[in-house]
A and B are shown apart, each in its own frame.
Chain A
C-alpha cells in the first residue's frame, strides 16, 4: 500500500468518517440511561404542555410554530458549519432530543427550581431575585446538557473523534434545550400576563433576537471542552484547556443571566449583555478555528491520493480542506465560478463516498470519481 493510501486509511480510521450511528445498543448502559432520562423528561414536559394546551393553547401553538422555524434555521446553520466529517443525522437528532426533553425535563426544571428556592430561603428573596438564575442555571443546565454529550460519546465513540465533533454535537444538544425552553417561555409569557397572547409575541421577538449567544453556543463550547478534557484515541487529552472551556461556558451563561443585576439601574444595562455576547462569540469562533484544523487535516489526507491520480487538483484540495473564505477566493479566481462550485461539490461527495466505503476502490467510488470528471467537463 502506498504512503498516501495508508494516510487515507488512517484518516478514515481516526476521523470515524463514514461510520454509521446505531442508536439501539442493548449492551451499552448509556443507551438505557439515555432512554430512561429522555422518557422521564418527556413525562415532566408533558405535565407542563397539558396545562399550556388547556389554558394557553394560542400561546403554545404560536411558540411551537415560531421557534420551530428558529430551530430549522439553526439546524441548517450548524449542519452548514459541519462541512468536513459531518455528524450523522441520527446522532445529531439524538443530541437534539436529549437537549429538548432529557436535559430540560429530567434535570433542569426541577433542579433549577430547587436551587433558586434554596437561595431565597438561605439568602433572602431579593438576593434570589437578582442572582438566583445566574447562580443556578449555568451549573444545572450546562451539566445537564454536557451529560448528553457524554452519553452520546459512550454510544458513538467511533464517531466523536475530535473536539470539533464535541463542538457540533454540543451545538445540537444546546439547540434542543434552547428551543424547548423558548416554547416554555412563550406560553409562560401569556400565563404571566393573564392569558394575553400579545405577551407571547413579545417573548418570541426577544428570545429570537438573543438566540445567537444562547444555549447552542454555550453547549458547543462546553462540548468541545469535554472532549478535550477526556481526550480521544488520536487527540490527546488537554485537561486544562478542556476544563477551562467548560468553565467558560458556565461563566458566560452566568454573566448573561446576571447581566440585569450586574448593570443594575445604570446606563450600562445594555453594555453588560452586549459585552458577554461579544466574548462568548469570540470564544466560540476561537474554539471552532482551533478544533476544525484537525478535521481539515483529515480531509487533506483523505483526498491526497485523488490529487496523485489527477482527479483533484492541488488548488481544489486547498479549497476543499480550507476555510470558507479560501474556497470563496478560489472560486472567484476561476473562469467559470458555477462550474468550479459544481466540481467542488462533486469532490465533496467523492470524499464522503470514499470515507463511507472505508477507502476501498468500490463501484460507488468510481461513479463518484466519474461525476467529478463530468462536472469538470460541463
Chain B
C-alpha cells in the first residue's frame, strides 16, 4: 500500500540503496557477531563502529505480532485504514524485528507465527523501494 518515501541519510543509505536493488541488508558487528536494526552509528553492544558492516540476508521471517490501524496521523496511510501492521522476526538475525503492512493479507486476518518472505515495494513520492513482507508459500521459500 502507498506509504511515505523514506529519505536516506548517511546512516542508512546503504540499506536503502540495497532495497532499490531488491536486496535486504542488515547492519552487523563482526566483533560482537551481532545484527542491529534500525541502523546505528555504532554497535550498541561494544559502542564501536570499527567492525560494523552491512550483511545481506535472504529475507525469511516469522510474524511475531500485529495491530490493525484504524487511526494514524500519517496522511498517506489514512486512505487504507484499517490496515495491518505486523512485527516480523527475522529468522536469520535473532532479536531483529521489522514492520510490515503484510501485502496480500486481509485486514485483521494475521496469523501470528506464520512464515513470511521479503518483497520490495516502491514508495510513490521518490520511487525509493522499501522492504515489505508477504506470507510465504512454505514449499517454495524454505
Q: Do A and B come from one complex?
A: no
B residues contacting A by CB (< 8 A) are none
